[in-house]
Amino acid sequence: MANFVAELLGRKKSLLIDCAAFALGFALMAVAEDVGTMCVARALLGYPLVNTVYLFELTHVEMRGVAAGMFALCNALGNSAILLLGAVIPQWRIDLGIAACVGLLGLACIAILPESPIWLLRKNRKEEAEQSMKK
């Protein structure tokens, strides 16, 4: 599903959808009052991410190994931070609300990034790809 969306809409728009689903999923979990809302929230959080595709398309070939390692490290650190947050703040709804804010931060950061030049070239948008590479 995510690959289809990324190919249809582009890497950047797909990442924006990913972050929106992430933020909305955690926000819904934080305010859920019933099982149905929690299930919808979990479904949103299950939306597959395409961030590694975008990362590798923007990373120089010689740095892709480092980028993959940094991605895994940041993922592990983020998971650890959430676990520690849960130990410090015993109110699980607050923890989920903070996680939703992380998704909103992702939305803001991705909004200023360029579209993948590789995707633009695949769509025969050469001028836009050149502009994207300059950013």
**Res 45: pLDDT:** 87
The confidence band for 32, taking pLDDT boundaries of 50, 70 and 90, is very high
**Res 30: pLDDT:** 95
* CATH 1.20.1250.20 is held by the domain 2-134: yes
**Res 134: pLDDT:** 81
* Of 108 and 53, more confident: 108
- DSSP H stretches of helix in the chain: 2-9, 11-31, 35-45, 51-58, 64-88, 92-111, 117-122, 126-134
The confidence band for 54, taking pLDDT boundaries of 50, 70 and 90, is confident
Q: What are the boundaries of each domain within the chain?
A: 2-134
